[in-house]
Amino acid sequence: MGVYKRPRESWFDANLRCRYGITIKEWKRLYRKQKGRCAICLKKAGRGRRGLHVDHNHKTGKVRGLLCPPCNRGLERLMAHLDRAVKYFLQ
C-alpha cells in the first residue's frame, strides 16, 4: 500500500522534479535552511503563489535557493539590465 499524498503536494513534487530536478524533500530542506525566508530580501514567505520560488541557473540548471516573487522578478530584470550595461560600457 502506497503512502497517500494530498493532490496539491503530489503536483508540486512532480513540478519540482520536472522543472528543477529536485524533490519536495529537497525543497523543504532549502526552505528550512532559509528559515522560510527569501534568500535575498529575507522576508518571510507567503503561501501559494506568494510563496518562495525556486531560483536556478538557466544554463546549468543548478538550484541556487528560494526567492520571493518580487526578488525573483527583480533579479531577472537586474541581470538583463546588467548585461546591456556591460555591452554599452564596452563600446
Domain count, the chain: 1
* Residue 2 included in any domain: no
* Residue 1 included in any domain: no
* Residue 69 included in any domain: yes
Average pLDDT, the chain: 85
Residue 35 pLDDT class (50, 70, 90 cuts): very high
pTM: 0.74
Percentage of the chain exceeding pLDDT 70: 86
One-letter amino acid at 20 equals Y
Q: Could you tell me the residue range of the domain that residue 28 belongs to?
A: 7-89
Is residue 73's pLDDT more than 80?
A: yes
Which pLDDT belongs to residue 45?
82
Which pLDDT belongs to residue 52?
92
CATH of the domain at 69: 3.40.1800.10
* Residue 17 included in any domain: yes
CB 52 within 8 A of CB 66: yes
Chain mean position to CA 69: 9
Chain mean position to CA 52: 6
